[in-house]
Amino acid sequence: MGRMSVGERRSALVAAAFTVIATRGLPAASIRTIVAEAGMSLASFHYAFTSREELLDVLIAETTASERSAVLPGQISGHSLHDLFAEGLGGYLEHLRARPEREQAMLELTQYAVRSRPDLAREQYGAYQEIALATLELVAAETGCQWLVPAPTVARLLVYLTDGLTIGWLVDRDTDAARATIEAAARALSTLART
């Protein structure tokens, strides 16, 4: 492996780590398998990071927010509140179906963070909720509706649903059931606002 800056090496290792976690799971993501995935020697890892733990910290901080924010909105245009919820959650389900390994990896990283890096987990979860909140406020402004419960509460409910949908679909891969549940959720959620 040729000469790389520390920054390049770190990026390459973070990307390789995510690939390994997505394809084989977090327990399989040892330093050895990560450097193998990145095509580096074992020792070069500790030239870029002081420990495996440090790499996981960076991985969580860099991926969680960007990954999830990339998923949400799409464009907004004049539909009903029900349709906006249904399209938003339906779009997420399509993303999940297209790249299940990615969301599985996110879930494993969240689990690890809750256990071993609680502050980091909290921070990322907060960022995630703010994205949901911003989307909801955009929706409210667009459709001219008003929330009957505080918007942050609706945002949190949306996050609950998204996490639950992720686990549920990853477990049984029942897309039809997931779609029907999204439809019911959209119907229920849309009653939390008045036009």
Quote the CA–CA distance of 93 and 51 in Å, as a whole number: 35
Q: Quote the least distance from Cβ 109 to DNA, whole Å.
A: 15
Would you call 187 helix, strand, or coil by DSSP? Answer: helix
- From the list DNA, a second copy, none, which binds 177 (C-beta under 5 to 8 Å, kind-based)? a second copy
The one among 25, 47, 175, 184 contacting DNA by CB under 7 A:
47
Rounded to 5°, the CA angle 24-28-30 comes to 135
**Nearest alpha-carbon partner for 141 in 95, 96, 87, 77:** 77
The answer for 49, left when phi > 0, alpha when psi is -120 to 50, beta otherwise, is beta
Position among 154, 175, 194, 195 found at the interface with a second copy (CB under 8 A) = 154
Only segment of 11-19, 44-52, 121-129, 184-192 that touches DNA (CB under 7 A): 44-52
- Identify the residue among 6, 42, 141, 180 touching a second copy (CB under 8 A): 180
Q: Tell me the number of residues near DNA by CB under 7 A.
A: 22
- Partner touching 44 among a second copy, DNA, none, CB below 5 to 8 Å by kind: DNA
Instruction: Please say which residue, 110 or 143, places its beta carbon nearer to a second copy.
Output: 110
Q: How many CB atoms lie within 10 A of CB 85?
A: 25
Among 125, 127, 134, 137, binds a second copy (CB under 8 A): 125
Q: List the structure tokens of 133.
A: 């909140």
Token digits for 193? 């606002």
Collapsing DSSP to helix, strand or coil, 94 comes out as helix
Residues of this chain that interact with DNA (CB under 7 A) are 1-4, 9, 28, 30-33, 40-47, 50-53
